[in-house]
A = this chain, B = another copy of it.
Amino acid sequence: MTASTPLDPESVTPATVVAVRRALDGRWENVREEIRARDDFASLRVEPGTDDETHRDRVWAMLSQLAADGHALLGFPTSVGGHGDIGGSVVSFEMLAFADLSLQVKSGVQWGLFGGAIQALGNAEQHARYLPSVMDLSLPGCFGMTETGHGSDVQSVHTTATYDPRTDEFVVDTPMESARKDYIGNAARDGRMAVVFVQLWSAPAGHEPERHGVHAVLVPLRDADGTVLPGVEITDDGHKEGLNGVDNGRLAFRGVRVPRENLLDRYGTVAADGTYSSSIGSENRRFFTMLGALVRGRVSVSGSAVGAAMLALTIAIRYGEARRQFAAPGGDGEIVILDYLAHQRKLLPLLARTYALRFAQNELVEMLHEIQTTREAGGDVDERRQRELESRAAGIKALSTWNATETIQVCREACGGQGFLSENRLADLRADTDVFTTFEGDNTVLLQLVAKGLISGYADDFGNLDTLGTIRFVADQVLDTVAERTSLHALAERLRGAAAGGDDDAVLDASAQIKLLDDREEHTLDALVRRLRPARGKGVGADRAFQIFNNAQDHLLRSARSHLDGLVLDAFNRACESQQDPGARTLMRQVCDLYALSVIEADKGWFLEHGRISASRSKAVTAEVNRLCQALRPHARALIDAFGIPEPWIGAPIAVGDEQRRQDEAAAYAGAHRV
């Protein structure tokens, strides 16, 4: 018996699809609906195989069109003419994934990263001065953070800005080749200005400059004619796997001088005499506060990845319902490939996971919106909640982008040779989104950030440290607290629960699924903490501390994933519970079961190893995943229709099923040989 009521095939009506769609759309349904209603949207797509220069031209033209339409206003503050709808702007960005991903990323660079950095790190005067021309695209800009040598470890960037009190200017320098800003969107062709992340050096006149850590400085790159300014060196990153409509490049600075007021100084400023001051004393803490203010980028990438997976599934499932191959022996006609269990097994668990991630993403956007709206209104935000947002953004981004990579790949294979043709979109979707798993934070590094939050309980002190540092510090101070939290008492209780659950059907119940995932999360955190404990104490040398950390790295990653799986399942369960339409709720519950059981099945080795499920229960999980795939098969079309991707946006010829034509052709073929 499953937790979900068996699904009456009749109960899935067009109204059901609408109810599911509204659940998926979430709070910013209106933003999605407005964009769906745009009749020019499908034209925002560049023909596959377009050469890079033309592709860049087209993307620029489309970006200008979006700017002219006021597309960028949504997320910017009302003080500069924006609409101040932070969540809406993230959702609006996500929708561009259905058009052209180069256009999306280019818009993200301009408005999300470049504009977003000025918004988050700049002062009111800087907002007033720059943001209007950022929004209307008269000032195209870059986000100069990553360097060739430092991506994940941004705190170690090597570019410098040194204050010269004689001229009231900063001097920006690239001291070595590996310190070039790299992969910078808008750099190779269109950008006029960059937010450049530098190590800031300054001192009152007469003193040796001191380093104040990472800050952001506005550096002009090109004049109004597009001519590169003196001291700036720009090279093109050239052809890429995807996103070739974005002009990525490398930036180097040779003693480039910018006025003192070009420092984005919300978190740290330099007086005319060279004196540095900041409201945040610790350099570490200041750095992480600045980085935290830029969290919107990660949330946006995550949303985009979910959208790309939805589009891929829409194409592959439609094709799977139209394509036939092999006749059943003795049977009439050929079998629709989505009727094969193996094909359902490929696509439907990924469909379920994409549902789950969309609900988790919706909650993430709401959290971002609440926190940033409060802060922009001058309200107080609890530090711990901010940390939790950052951790969740990191984790959901990692899961969503890996999900997109895997889902699009499986969809490509599920469409065979058709999937390889660019006209069917999967190839470009795959190539364009591939970098999502490593930009805006490498996913593996992001999972470590999540684990760090779990260990430290998002305590204030730990925002300041990188993961390795946290481990060290935590080992000294926090492990006992965590150990207490996951005490022997709790362990005993869990084991009692596991022993009592001898009924193999229990695992198919929603609360049992949640309990299994919670239990795994607690246990993996326990195990991690136990492994890190030997690193405590000042007597442990750096090499040994690294060794302890490194040997526990797989536990660290597992702990983060376990936590995130539970968090995503919670979001899906909440979405099911708040669904008012009974048919839609039943349908969503089955998809949710498929998600939860797929997660358990994928890690069944762990659950068995740790005595959390019996062998027969484990086999029951697999049988139930199969059963759910077959039960959901008739509703696969309804489930993708609920994504609400307008017909003209889909664009792939293979996604247009044409059963009548197939039948006509088959009839015509009966006597097809001729002389």
Give A158-197 as 1s and 0s: 1 = Cβ < 8 Å from B's Cβ atoms: 1010111000000101011111001100000000000000
Contact status B241-A427, CB under 8 Å? yes
Nearest-Cβ distance from residue A651 to partner chain B, whole angstroms: 14
Within 8 A of B (CB), among A637-675: 662, 665, 668-669, 672-675
Interface status of A582 (Cβ within 8 A of chain B): no
Contact status A160-B421, CB under 8 Å? no
Q: List 20 A-B contacts (CB under 8 A).
A: A49-B51, A49-B238, A175-B668, A183-B421, A199-B673, A241-B422, A241-B428, A242-B427, A329-B472, A329-B542, A330-B542, A331-B542, A340-B550, A340-B553, A409-B434, A416-B442, A554-B622, A604-B609, A609-B615, A609-B618
Bound complex: CA of A653 vs CA of B653, how far in Å? 39
Bound complex: CA of A183 vs CA of B409, how far in Å? 19
Q: Which of A72-80, A126-134, A148-156 contacts B (4 or more CB under 8 A)?
A: A148-156
Nearest-Cβ distance from residue A419 to partner chain B, whole angstroms: 7
Interface status of A285 (Cβ within 8 A of chain B): no
CB-defined contacts of A182 to chain B, threshold 8 Å: 417
Interface status of A82 (Cβ within 8 A of chain B): no
CB-defined contacts of A201 to chain B, threshold 8 Å: 673
Contact status B422-A435, CB under 8 Å? no
CB-defined contacts of A151 to chain B, threshold 8 Å: 325, 416-417
Given A326-B466, A417-B438, list of 14 further CB < 8 A pairs?
A49-B239, A158-B672, A162-B674, A176-B669, A178-B665, A182-B417, A183-B417, A240-B421, A241-B421, A329-B468, A331-B543, A409-B409, A608-B615, A608-B618
CB-defined contacts of A439 to chain B, threshold 8 Å: 417
CB-defined contacts of A545 to chain B, threshold 8 Å: 328-330
A543-B171 in contact given A176-B669, A239-B49, A420-B438 (Cβ < 8 Å): no
Contact status A240-B420, CB under 8 Å? yes
A327 contacts which of B156, B428, B609, B622 (Cβ < 8 Å)? B156
CB-defined contacts of A339 to chain B, threshold 8 Å: 550
Interface status of A146 (Cβ within 8 A of chain B): yes
A618 nearest in chain B by CB position: B609
CB-defined contacts of A178 to chain B, threshold 8 Å: 662, 665
Interface status of A237 (Cβ within 8 A of chain B): yes
Bound complex: CA of A158 vs CA of B665, how far in Å? 11
CB-defined contacts of A469 to chain B, threshold 8 Å: 329
Within 8 A of B (CB), among A318-334: 325-331, 334
Interface status of A391 (Cβ within 8 A of chain B): no
CB-defined contacts of A358 to chain B, threshold 8 Å: none
Nearest-Cβ distance from residue A562 to partner chain B, whole angstroms: 15
Contact status B430-A554, CB under 8 Å? no
Interface status of A211 (Cβ within 8 A of chain B): yes
Contact status B609-A543, CB under 8 Å? no
Bound complex: CA of A466 vs CA of B674, how far in Å? 28
A337 nearest in chain B by CB position: B152
Interface status of A341 (Cβ within 8 A of chain B): yes
CB-defined contacts of A163 to chain B, threshold 8 Å: 675
Contact status B238-A422, CB under 8 Å? yes
Nearest-Cβ distance from residue A332 to partner chain B, whole angstroms: 8
Interface status of A611 (Cβ within 8 A of chain B): yes
Interface status of A345 (Cβ within 8 A of chain B): yes
Bound complex: CA of A209 vs CA of B421, how far in Å? 38
A666 nearest in chain B by CB position: B176
Contact status A173-B672, CB under 8 Å? yes
A244 contacts which of B49, B162, B466, B668 (Cβ < 8 Å)? B49
Interface status of A522 (Cβ within 8 A of chain B): no
Bound complex: CA of A675 vs CA of B205, how far in Å? 12
Within 8 A of B (CB), among A366-422: 405, 409, 412-413, 416-417, 419-422
Interface status of A431 (Cβ within 8 A of chain B): yes
CB-defined contacts of A300 to chain B, threshold 8 Å: none
Contact status B420-A435, CB under 8 Å? yes
Interface centre among A52, A443, A665, A675 (most CB of B within 10 A): A675
Interface status of A335 (Cβ within 8 A of chain B): yes
CB-defined contacts of A51 to chain B, threshold 8 Å: 49, 51
